[in-house]
Structure formats: C-alpha cells, structure tokens
A and B are shown apart, each in its own frame.
Chain A
C-alpha cells in the first residue's frame, strides 16, 4: 500500500483543478441567484445549501413559478446523491471525532467525494483521511464563496451566451479519464451517463440518483 507523506499538502494540491472549475460556475450561480433575491440572501444560499445544483434549481424553479413543495422535493432529490457518497465513505468516518463528522457531512459535495475516493488507498488512518479531506475542501469551499459573491455583485456583466458551466464538464472529463481503469468501470460510467441523459427530461432532479443506481447495477453485472 502506498501512503501519502503529507496528506494536507497533497489534498490542497489535488483541489486546485476542481477549485478552478468551480470559479466560473460560482459566478453564474451568484449572478442568477441575484436575479430572484436580494444580494445578501443570494450569497447566503451558498453556505446554506453547499450545492451549486441545488442553488440553480432553486433559482430556475422560482423563476418558472413552481410551487414551494415542488422546489423542495427537487432540491432534496438533486442532493440525494450525497447520501450515496456518505454511504460509500461511511467506514472512513467511524474513527473520526464528532466535529469532523458534522463538518465533513456539511461539505460532502461531488468534487470532494471524487478526490477522496481516488486517494482512499493512500490514506490508511483516520488522521491522514481527515487532513486530506479538510485540505481538499478548503480551497473549493473558499473559491465557491468568493465566486458567488462576485457573481452576485457583478453578474449582470456576464453575457448570457458565455457557457461557463462547461468548466464542470471539462473537470469531469479529466477525472473520468483517470477513473476508467477497468471494463466494469467503463460499463458503469456509460450506463450511468446514458441513463441520466434519458431520464432527465422525465424525472428532473431524480435523474442523477437513478443514473448512479443503474450504473452501479450495470457495473456489478459486467
């Protein structure tokens, strides 16, 4: 087993790419949020929800006139994938102090799950896992708060045709390339992607969860 000499340093280094990708997305989310809320409230939805997808859903559904129940259900379904991440990492939290369990749960987002999962074998004990996790999430969380603030304040100057959300696509493509190490991984990823695309128009916020579930089943059968 290979271990990391300095988990905090490696975590901070690994987080640079995801943090850079979060910046343009945070700009867009901040700008859109400011269109339906006062500036302070728009920014506060970031630390409240800690989910760009949930923030975007909140704005989009509010704009479209959806009911409060529909908006809440959509947000919960969208973020339900985080429960899957928690389940996948649960054994790594058993030896952690209470404060870190809550903090780790609060910031359990797609990017930190992917980073931590890719390094699990190199983080053998609770302390190294915690150091890597905290050092990895800090730049991402900080970038998000700053980028959404800038978006809230200066978002009107961002042209609509700038598809800044595609920065996340670039990030996922890079991470996916490193994760496709076996035939079953390929099959799982392809099935998850196609399923998410196909069921998205039908089930909205539940698409990601259904996509991940079908991908896991396909990977097991492969």
Chain B
C-alpha cells in the first residue's frame, strides 16, 4: 500500500481522536475526577514533547543542551518569537561549523 493511501486511511482516524471530546463535548464527557488532572496539563505535555523532540532530533548532545539553556535564559528578556528566530540562527551556525 502506498504511503499516500495510508495517509488517506489515517486521516479520519486522527480526526476522530481529535474530535471525540471537542465536537461532542455534551455526549463524550470527561469524568469529573479526571478533569482537575487535565486542566493545566501544559507543563506535563511540554515535558513529554520536549523529551520526544530531543530524542527525535538525534538525542541529547552538546547542541541540544546549548539550545535549551539558551532558550531558557533568553526567554527572560526576549519574546518567544525572538528566541525562536535566534535559536534557528544558532542551529544554522552550528551546522555551518559542523557542531
């Protein structure tokens, strides 16, 4: 089966996952005892996403550590978009020098 055919099959499955609680929030309800856990889950989600992104980009190495440290420190003074642009410049610079 071609990758595009697989994407066609996967698309409605993904949409169903996304839509379950959003399109029918009155019918498919989150139990109240779990609601408190889900609300404000942002730091937890970001922790998992960050680890996954680092692993998927080649693992924890000098460049990944430098970028995370830079982002955390720079975010004290700069806006999110400025930090991201500067991070992209750092990535390009690191590639140019072979880091």
Q: Do A and B bind each other?
A: yes
Report B14-46 residues with CB < 8 Å from chain A CB.
14-15, 17-23, 25-26, 28-30, 34, 37-46
Main secondary structure of the interface of B (DSSP, over half): helix
A154 at the B interface (CB under 8 A):
no
A173 and B10: CB pair below 8 A?
A: no
Specify which chain B residues have a CB less than 8 angstroms from the CB of A212 in the assembled complex.
41, 44-45, 48
What's the minimum C-beta distance from B74 to chain A, rounded to whole angstroms? 8
Chain A: number of interface residues, binned into ranges: 35 or more
Q: Are B3 and A59 neighbours in the complex by a CB distance under 8 Å? A: yes
Determine whether the beta carbon of B48 is less than 8 Å from that of A86.
no
- Which residues B44-88 have CB closer than 8 A to chain A? 44-58, 63-64, 67-68, 70-72, 74-75, 79-81, 83-85, 87-88
Q: Does A93 contact B (CB under 8 A)?
A: yes
Given A104-B22, A170-B71, A174-B83; A163-B58 close (CB under 8 Å): yes
User: Nearest chain-A residue to B88 (Cβ)?
Assistant: A167
Are A174's CB and B80's CB within 8 A? Answer: yes
- Nearest-neighbour CB distance to chain B for A72, whole angstroms, equals 6
Whether A58 pairs with B54 at a CB distance below 8 angstroms is no
Contact of B3 among A36, A90, A178, A193 (CB under 8 A): A36
Tell me if B81 and A20 are in contact (CB < 8 A).
yes
| Pairwise interchain contact B41-A117, C-beta atoms closer than 8 A | yes
What is the minimal beta-carbon distance from A2 to any residue of chain B, in angstroms?
17
One of A48, A93, A94, A175 near B46 (C-beta < 8 A) = A175
Known contacts A48-B7, A117-B42; decide if A176 and B50 are in contact (CB<8 Å). Answer: yes
> Considering the chains assembled together, what is the distance between the CA atoms of A179 and B20 in angstroms?
26
Query: Whole-angstrom distance from the CB of B3 to the nearest CB of chain A?
Result: 5
- In the complex, identify which listed stretch (A3-11, A108-116, A145-153) lies at the interface while the others stay far away: A108-116
* A141 interfacial contact with B, CB 8 Å: no
> In the assembled complex, how far is the CB of residue B84 from the closest CB belonging to chain A, in whole angstroms?
5
A79 touches B44 (CB 8 A): no
The answer to whether A172 touches B1, judged by C-beta atoms less than 8 angstroms apart, is: no
Q: Are B10 and A49 in contact (CB under 8 A)?
A: yes
Q: How far is the CB of A194 from chain B (nearest CB, A)?
A: 7
Contact partners of B95 in chain A: CB under 8 A: 159, 161-163
Residues of A within 8 A of B (CB): 14, 16-18, 20-21, 24, 33, 36-38, 41, 44-45, 48-51, 54, 56, 58-59, 62, 68, 71-72, 75-76, 79-91, 93-94, 98, 101-102, 104-106, 108, 110, 113-114, 117-118, 159, 161-181, 185-186, 188-197, 200, 207-208, 211-212, 215-216, 219-220
- Residues of chain B touching chain A, judged by Cβ–Cβ distance below 8 Å, are 1-4, 6-11, 13-15, 17-23, 25-26, 28-30, 34, 37-58, 63-64, 67-68, 70-72, 74-75, 79-81, 83-85, 87-88, 91-92, 94-95, 98
Subset of 12 A-B contacts with CB under 8 Å: A76-B13, A83-B20, A85-B18, A93-B25, A164-B91, A167-B91, A173-B67, A175-B42, A177-B72, A177-B75, A192-B45, A208-B48
